[in-house]
Every structure is written in structure tokens, then in C-alpha cells.
Structure 1
């Protein structure tokens, strides 16, 4: 009798140990190793002369979760914690991989800022800083450029108001024209239809200074009279945009810009895209979302270097959080099914005996 009990106890320990080891293995892989494995497939862009080279890390549509609009509201604290941690981990790996000179945030930093009270807004801002600016000494050497999106100041589901613009600019105060080395960044706001005033005359084919337009809402991808005005007035060599939660590269003739050539960028066709700026075409690069909450598994950060007038660009794709959470669900389901099966088998065995 004691022997049978000992055997059952030993088998129970083995069973529990197996599932504990399985759960621990899943957690270690999903929460640590998967990020290193994914980053091992990233393309490392090389500068020929570091003094002439500017490294860019591009962050689009993090849309940190707000306090009020989750469908399963009681799960909001868990959703916020998981989403914020995912953003922090993926950004940490991208940041350390790139070692950027400039980090550009292309808007939609917060999901509910356009409907938030002032108190909620500044709570969201503190979370943004905690996720993206918690990198110690690196911050002293890195410029950050911040753009508002429709979820930050309105413009899509709600109206843009002076108060929303004022509080965003108060939290992320900087000019609309920013020059670093040989690059001039121009912050374009399609939501308010505003273009920074650059008074000096220039030619598109002059590349002593590279002009890079930054906009949350795509421009060439969605032609309009405003887009024509931007192109004709500003003649940017390059545009970085977001909003669509996917990545692609558009090119067009800078003088006529009636026809556009589109190259989709996905994990399956990712590569290093190389372009000479100011030679033939104008380029617009859409940056994918870095948040897994946007309904896509193609999540990542843009990575580019500009050296003189040469652009190299790639996407640093992140692991799919949906796949990670799905693996946890499968593991829990298997544990429940196996436990029920063993319990039923033991009950039938005892009844038979």
C-alpha cells in the first residue's frame, strides 16, 4: 500500500515538474530569447565615415493603451502592463542595435490622448518617457524628434483643438525645423495643414544639405492639393511617414510627381534598400507600427543611415506578441486537457478496481 502511494507521489512530482519546466521554458524563450533570436536576423548598416554618417531610429504608432476604451475594461491594467513591457523590450533591443544619433517618433504616441483629460494626458506622457527614454547615459548623445498623430491631438475621430495642440507641444517642445549635421528635418502636419517656413531658395538636385520631411499622415501615398503644396514648396529629398501601420517605399519624379512606384516592405522581402538622394527621385518611406495592438503581426522599427546623400534603410522586425500569447494559451490548454484526462483515467481505474 505504501509502495503504491510512494509511486503515485513520485509520478505526481514528475508530472508537476514536467509542466513547470515546460512553462519556464516557454517564458524564457518568449520573454527573453525570442528578442535576441529576432535581432540576430537584422541587417547592420555600416557607415563608411562615421563623421559624415547619421544613424536614424524611426518609431511609429506605439499608441500606448489608455485608461478608458478597452473592450474588456476589467483587464485594462493587465493590457497596459503587457503592451508597455513589449514596447519597452523591443525598443531596448532596437535602440542598442542601432546606437542612433537621432530617434524620430512619427506620431500616435498615445491611443486615447485626443479624448483624454489634462491629467490623463500627462499620465500617458510619463508612460511614454518611461518606455522610450529610460536608457541612462545614451540620452546625452541622442536627439529626439517628436511628431503628433491624430490619436494625440485629434484629426480623425475627433477634432483638432488649440488645447490639444498646446499640451502636446508643452510636453514635447521643439521647433518645426531641426538641423543635424548635413540634414534638415522639416515637421509637416497634415492634420492641421501646416508646413514649416523655410525661406532660403534651393534646388532639389543640390545635396550639400539633405532635406527630410517628417509627417504622421502619409503624403505621396495619399495625394492631395496639400501634398502638392508640400512637394512644390519644400522639395524634400526624403519623407518619413507613418499612420498606416505597415511599411512601404514610394518614389516619384520630384518635378512632376504624377506617377508613383511602390515597393512593399515585409518580413518576407526585407532587405537593405539603398538610394542616392537628390539625383533622380523623391522618396517616401512608411514606417510600420511598433505596437502589437494594431492588428498586425508585422511589427517593427525603421532603421536608416544617411551619409552625405546616400540613404540605406531597413526595418528591424520585432517578434509577434500574438504568437507568444498564443503559445501560452496552447500550453495552458494542453495542461488542462492532460490533467482532466489523467484524472478521468484514474477515476475509471479506481472504479474498475
Structure 2
């Protein structure tokens, strides 16, 4: 008969039942409750009237980097790690989408971790998982731009027409213009690891001619304002954007410059200021100043990127340039996984001690 414990004269469950209850409670908390608890900490969405002509809500997804098959651990560990990150992204995206009910969802590149080097079969498997995670959303425009992990371009991971063509078949044009209400999203593919291709400024000029919305937002995977002035200033002068949205660094950062749009030939005059963000509420930005420029870098939403903090960005913007921005911070998945490891170790020690105790009792009983 299983040994039972009593506390203050009250009969309680067996040790085995206690252990099972702790395990079940831990799984329910780590796999379900913690996501809801974290979402309840998100600030109230500052929208009083859902009218996309007067106020637009934009959900920003950066660097999900769906894990591939070449760099992950072999079976069976690789199967578990892919399953766990897919599940984390799916649950957090669902909560972020339900919270914001966005007019547009913008993916800021590095959609797949091995998109640039995956085989055709691996690419199709990963693409299918991507669409299962970021399920088809209703009443929202979805915009994609590529990152270096999607089509190459960083280090020795060179770009090829085949990589770019495969991406465009799956996610649409690499560059171009997408209009959503009073906002024109200008999709660029600017890289600064090498000289800018001669066609790029021409392409930007063509896209700019088609832009007529009151608000123009450049979306690019690589950061822009931290680059040298002679790289980025001609592009900004040509497009005249109100805002830049980028990713790549997997961090939440606000770059701003009060007069970067002014006519100034001094190559050293590039007063860009950086502010690391970890806010619990919305910050206010005014995009109406024609001489100022702001860049918001959105953190990765994946816990596999080696950063402590992950999240989704949310923009609430009006036609006059008044804007609010926040990051919906996500639970720390590695902490949850380490908790499982710690709990397993503790329970293993307890089970071993109980077994040794029972064994010694049996030996003592038989020796009498």
C-alpha cells in the first residue's frame, strides 16, 4: 500500500501522486498559463475608434528565423527543438494578433534561418511550417521583406538569382511599394556590405514616383541610420520617408536625428542618436517634422536568437504623423526550459532517496 503523508492530521496524497501533480501543474503553467499572464501585462492598445482612415494599427514581426534542418541537432533532438520553437512562435503570434487586430502585418526579414542554403525539399518543409505558425490572417494586409538568411548577402553566403527567385515565388517581390490606406510601405533591399548596385537609386526613384500617401514608411531588414552618411543620405533625400522600420540586430532600438533631412554637404554631420528600448508602455513620436527622421528597430520574436528579450512591435499611427509605438514582450522560454531541467533533477533526487530508503528498510526487516 502506498505511503501517505499527513499534515496537521489531514490525510494527503501519496508521494507518487504529489510528484505527478507537480509535473502536471508545471506543464500547464509553462505551456499555457505563462503566455496568457505575459499578454495581460501588455499595455492597453491606445485605439478608441477602429477606423483605418483615421488611425492605423501595424503589427511588426522581425527575425522569426524558422529553424531549418542542416544546422539543427540530428534526430530526435532536432525534431524536438524545431517543434518547440514553432509552438512558441505560433502561440505568441496568435496572442499578439488578437491583441492588436492590425490593419497590416509587416515581416521585417530573416523569415527562415536556412532559407538561403536550404535544399528545395527543406525549403518547402520550412515554408509549410512558416504558414502554419503565422496562419493566414483576416482583414489584414501582410507585407514581407527578405533578410540575409532568406536570400543571402552576408559574409560568404552570396546572393544568386535562384535564391531571389525562390523567395519571390513564396513571399512576393523583394522591393516595391505597398499601399495600405494613408500609408505607403516602401520595401527596400539595401545592404551596406558592398557598393550599392547602380540600379538601386533608379529603382528607389521609380518606387518613389508611385508613392502618394500622406505617410511614407521605408521597411528594410538591415539598419539604416547607423550607416555612414554618404550611403544613406541620398536615399533619404530621394524618398523623404516619415519613418524607417528595420530588424537584423534582434534588439529594440530607437535611432533619431533632428536634422538629418536637411541640406548639408558636411559628411561628418550625421547626428544620429541611439536609445535602447525596454518600455512597458507606448512611446510617442511625432513624424511631422520634415527635417527629422526616426528609425525603429524591432527585436526578434524568436528565443533562438541568443537575446534575453523578444517581442513583437506595434505601431498606432495617424495621417498627421502622430504615432505611438511599443513592444509586446514575450516570456523567456529558456528560463522555462531550464526550470524543467531543474525540476527533473530535483524529482530524480527525491525518487532516488525514497528508493534507497525503502531498500534499506527492506534489508533491515529481512535481517531481523
Q: Give me the TM-score of the superposition, normalised by structure 2.
A: 0.86
- Look up the match of 1:302: 313
Q: For 1:168 and 1:201, how far apart are their aligned partners in 2?
A: 24
Q: Which of structures 1 and 2 has the larger relative contact order (alpha carbons within 8 angstroms, sep 6+)? A: 1
CA shift digits 1:269-327 (9 cap, x unpaired): 43311011122521000000000100112011000111121110000001111011111
- Look up the match of 1:39: 39
Q: Could you list the runs of 5+ residues in structure 1 that have no partner in the other structure?
A: 1-5
| Residue 232 (structure 1) aligned with residue 237 (structure 2) | yes
Give the Å deviation of 1:261: 1.7
CA shift digits 1:128-149 (9 cap, x unpaired): 1111024xxxx34110000100
- Look up the match of 1:145: 143
> Of 241, 248, 258, which aligns to 2:253?
248
- Kept in 1, the 8 Å contact 2:229–2:270? The answer is no
- Kept in 2, the 8 Å contact 1:47–1:307? The answer is no
Q: For 2:186 and 2:144, how far apart are their aligned partners in 1?
A: 11
| Matched positions, count | 337
| Residue 324 (structure 1) aligned with residue 322 (structure 2) | no
The 1:124–1:224 alpha-carbon spacing in structure 2 relative to 1, beyond 3 Å, is farther
Q: For 1:52 and 1:223, how far apart are their aligned partners in 2?
A: 36
CA shift digits 1:203-243 (9 cap, x unpaired): xxxx9711100000111133364322321221211011000
- Look up the match of 1:165: 164
Alpha carbon RMSD of aligned pairs, Å? Answer: 2.2
**1:51-62 pair list within 5 angstroms:** 51-62=53-64
CA shift digits 1:32-91 (9 cap, x unpaired): 111111111111232355231111000000001101111455411111111101000000
SS at match of 2:28: helix
SS at match of 2:45: coil
SS at match of 1:114: coil
- Kept in 2, the 8 Å contact 1:83–1:291? The answer is yes
- Kept in 2, the 8 Å contact 1:106–1:216? The answer is yes
| Residue 30 (structure 1) aligned with residue 30 (structure 2) | yes
SS at match of 2:354: helix
- Look up the match of 1:3: none
Q: For 2:315 and 2:333, how far apart are their aligned partners in 1?
A: 24
**1:155-234 pair list within 5 angstroms:** 155-157=153-155, 158-174=157-173, 176-191=176-191, 194=200, 196=204, 197-200=206-209, 209-223=214-228, 225-234=230-239
The 1:247–1:54 alpha-carbon spacing in structure 2 relative to 1, beyond 3 Å, is same
CA shift digits 1:144-173 (9 cap, x unpaired): 000100000001140011111111111112
- Look up the match of 1:93: 95
- Look up the match of 1:124: 126
The 1:224–1:68 alpha-carbon spacing in structure 2 relative to 1, beyond 3 Å, is farther
* 272-281 vs 161-170, greater mean Cα deviation: 272-281
CA shift digits 1:79-126 (9 cap, x unpaired): 111110100000000000000000000010000111112232222111
- Kept in 1, the 8 Å contact 2:178–2:186? The answer is yes
Q: For 1:31 and 1:221, how far apart are their aligned partners in 2?
A: 39
Q: Which has the higher helix share?
A: 1
Q: For 2:249 and 2:318, how far apart are their aligned partners in 1?
A: 28
Q: Give me the TM-score of the superposition, normalised by structure 1.
A: 0.89
The 1:201–1:350 alpha-carbon spacing in structure 2 relative to 1, beyond 3 Å, is closer
- Look up the match of 1:290: 301
Q: Could you list the runs of 5+ residues in structure 2 that have no partner in the other structure?
A: 6-11
